[in-house]
Amino acid sequence: MKRQLGVGMLTSSNKNKELFFGIDGGGSKCKAIIMNKDNEILGTGISGPGNPLHGFDQATNSITESAKLALEDAGLSELELSDIVAGVGLAGVNLPVLFDQMAAWQHPFKAMHLATDLLIACLGAHDGSDGAVMISGTGSCGFSCVDEQQTIVGAHGFPHGDKGSGAWFGLQGVKQVLLSLDGIVPTTLMSDVLLKKLNCKDDTDLVEAVASQKATYYAQQANLVFDAAEQGDKVALAIVDEGAEYINSIARTLLTKNPPRISMIGGLTPRLKPWLADDIKAKLEEPISPPEVGSVLFARQQQAKQSVQQSA
Amino acid sequence: MKRQLGVGMLTSSNKNKELFFGIDGGGSKCKAIIMNKDNEILGTGISGPGNPLHGFDQATNSITESAKLALEDAGLSELELSDIVAGVGLAGVNLPVLFDQMAAWQHPFKAMHLATDLLIACLGAHDGSDGAVMISGTGSCGFSCVDEQQTIVGAHGFPHGDKGSGAWFGLQGVKQVLLSLDGIVPTTLMSDVLLKKLNCKDDTDLVEAVASQKATYYAQQANLVFDAAEQGDKVALAIVDEGAEYINSIARTLLTKNPPRISMIGGLTPRLKPWLADDIKAKLEEPISPPEVGSVLFARQQQAKQSVQQSA
């Protein structure tokens, strides 16, 4: 689609200026939306992993693919990726080497504004304004953006970090069950539930089942730790209390930055939030929009800054 | 070398009956010795990983190679592997699937007697008699053999088990330093030492350094945790106390089996032993021989049993 084709196209070109891609590229999938100036999502596309930690080619292919799918889903197939500005939030680009690599990408968009997955999650949760988020999904971390000062707490990875994440809860559960099978700690109902779920009859089976497993596998065992804790299982309760206390610590660290709003997001939120300290729970507000919307908000802010710089 | 070649060879054949290979196949190397009836080690050979967890071909090649090197080292190149009985202790063969695979190997020895690395370590430590061992090296576990009853405690692997091992101490150190860099726990001298050792200036560097590292990497960081604890570092002290308490628990579990002797072995022993409970330390006796000698003792016991069965 070329812009010099006529009056109709001029209108389309003007319209394009009001359209933005919002992209959220994570370790398991890449999600793209296309949004108009009235904050309506016109189309959505989902593709493979968009985290450059899994490789530059995989990430850039997923980003391009998800954007094309969103364009198609919106019924805007007459437009090209090069007609539209994209906000792109990616896991992994908090590492400078990966940020530089992705920023140097000969991307297919009209312009690309690159941010961390943490910044777009925070912008989404607080509708583009300052704020803080605690994130607990497969991994865990805290992030705040206040007066253009960004703070990251955690986000260290598994198994050396990511305390209070799904992977961490699952790993603690497996550890305690292995100890109980050796008689080092008491056996509780969590032991039976875990062995049953993983089709194991003893510790040899369990060791075979969990050998070399990754964070995502352990995250799948997190729910049963919470189930057991909710039934009063003392070993599970101790795990849940320790994980919740870490998320409390993240919150307290973030609150020293005086964010106007603070939210908790990520897949483990419904299970973990009830276990947080009362003073923290009292401060939590519902996230307003998901991270991909945060990518659009980020791209709009960056475009607005550029306009100001150009007119200055 | 064929046995029907003459009188000299008959003598050699008789001598061969008194020679045994003792093989200790672990995750990083395979060690073979050749020993005579007077318990003299005539030669030693070391090759690559002998743990079948790393693959059947790798393990069997390493075992064969180490035995050939031992034969050469002993100046017995006129003999073949098929002239000599081997005791083979391997990590991993506590898993039935790996034991069966290795037992079915068309091995090159006159006979092969297969045992776990735990059994040969225990036989070595107690000169072929009943006893118990706590092992802390890269991994950790406990083992006893009393009245032909074998008990295993731990041996679960990293990161879900192996508490009190080198890998566990190193991982705990890294975890605590990452938390301290976020201000979640106090910074102690261990933080500076670890960052310096790994050439890191901040948590981003440290996260990059440790991402996807294996047990052996973490085990290399264990000594600095002990160094810090010995200088009174409170965070390091808490780690060392927790790890030592697990080894105490292993010892107490093993002592319920009434082993005549109990020893601590493995690369971390000199660092960890001083931190064990006094009542445990008081019971520990020095290991008599290393695991590869235990393999010889095991093979001799098995051959003796077979003779009894054959003459019965």
Place B5 in a pLDDT band, splitting at 50, 70 and 90: very low
Q: What is the pTM of this model?
A: 0.84
Per-residue pLDDT at B94: 84
Tell which B residues from 128 to 157 touch A, by Cβ distance under 8 Å: 153-157
Place A9 in a pLDDT band, splitting at 50, 70 and 90: very low
Which residues in A lie closer than 8 A to residue B184 (C-beta atoms)? 153, 246, 249-250, 253
**A253 in contact with B at a CB cutoff of 8 Å?**
yes
For B246, the closest chain A residue by CA position comes to A184
Cβ pair B205, B250 in contact under 8 A? no
CA distances from B194 to A95, A161, A304, B216, B220 (A): 20, 16, 44, 16, 11
Tens digits of per-residue pLDDT, B6-23? 333 434 555 667 899 999
Write down the mean pLDDT value for chain B: 92
Q: Under DSSP, is residue A17 helix (H, G, I), strand (E, B) or coil? A: helix
**B96 in contact with A at a CB cutoff of 8 Å?**
yes
Cβ pair B258, B283 in contact under 8 A? no
Is the omega angle on the peptide bond into residue A159 within 30 degrees of 0, that is, cis?
Answer: yes
Interchain CB distance below 8 Å, B207 and A157: yes
The identity of residue A91, as a single letter, is A
Give the β-pairing of B30-35 and B20-25: antiparallel
Predicted-assembly ipTM surpassing the 0.85 threshold:
no
Instruction: Give the DSSP H or E segment for B238.
Output: helix B234-255
Question: What would be the CATH architecture of the domain defined by A166-283?
Answer: 2-Layer Sandwich (3.30)
More confident residue, A226 or B95: A226
Q: What are phi and psi of A61, to 5 degrees?
A: -65, -45
Distance from C-alpha of B121 to C-alpha of B291, rounded to nearest angstrom: 4
Helices (H), ranges, chain A:
7-17, 56-73, 96-103, 117-125, 166-181, 189-197, 203-210, 215-219, 222-230, 234-255, 269-272, 278-283, 291-311
Cβ pair B49, B81 in contact under 8 A? no
Place A15 in a pLDDT band, splitting at 50, 70 and 90: low
Per-residue pLDDT at B172: 97
Which residues in B lie closer than 8 A to residue A96 (C-beta atoms)? 204
Nearest by CB to A178, from B156, B179, B208: name it.
B156
Which residues in A lie closer than 8 A to residue B210 (C-beta atoms)? 157, 160
CATH code of domain B3-127+289-311: 3.30.420.40
Longest dimension (CA), chain B: 79
Instruction: Give the DSSP H or E segment for A42.
Output: strand A41-47
Number of CB atoms found within 10 A of residue A85's CB:
20
Residue B135 pairs with which residues in a beta bridge? Answer: B141, B265
Interchain CB distance below 8 Å, A95 and B154: no
Tens digits of per-residue pLDDT, A28-40? 889 999 999 999 9
Q: Where are the domains of chain B?
A: 3-127+289-311, 166-283
Place A312 in a pLDDT band, splitting at 50, 70 and 90: low
Per-residue pLDDT at A96: 87
Pick the range with the lowest mean pLDDT from A159-173, A289-303, B49-63.
B49-63
